[in-house]
Amino acid sequence: QLQLVESGGGLVQPGGSLRLSCAFSGFTLEYYGIGWFRQAPGKEREGVSCISSSGGSTNYADSVKGRFAISRDNAKNTVYLQMNSLKPEDTGFYYCAARRAPYGSWCRREARDMNYWGKGTLVTVSS
């Protein structure tokens, strides 16, 4: 059974860092494009970052460019989101999502493009 499980969320002060992990099971990660999404209370889900199946293509929302970094370890079936210089507006539930990639550089931050979702992990940035 295909599963995505996020971890690494928590409470952090502004300016701090967190690394989120998304562990995959039930399928071979190397064939899938992956995205990280977030949703704050009362707001729409936002595509934060994506990485292609090859790992050679990445994309970031303007709000996180220069602060967040996505990476993947296909051998460990895990994708990461390193978040630095966190701000209160980064608060929300963070979800990873996957879709079997139509080609190696495929990378999308639109929720409608993804087929499989994790249940999310909560990130709270507050002093």
Digit-coded pLDDT (tens) for 31-51: 999 999 999 989 999 999 999
Q: How far apart are CA 125 and CA 15, in angstroms?
A: 9
Q: What is the mean pLDDT of residues 49-71?
A: 97
Question: What phi and psi, each to the nearest 5 degrees, are found at residue 10?
Answer: 165, -170
| Tokens, residue 63 | 């709000």
Question: What single-letter DSSP state applies at residue 116?
Answer: E
| Tokens, residue 72 | 């993947």
3-state DSSP call for residue 120?
Answer: coil
Percent of the chain whose pLDDT exceeds 90: 93
pLDDT for 103 equals 86
Q: How far apart are CA 80 and CA 76, in angstroms?
A: 11
pLDDT for 113 equals 95
- Asked whether the predicted pLDDT for residue 27 surpasses 90, the reply is no
Confidence of residue 104 (pLDDT cuts 50, 70, 90): confident
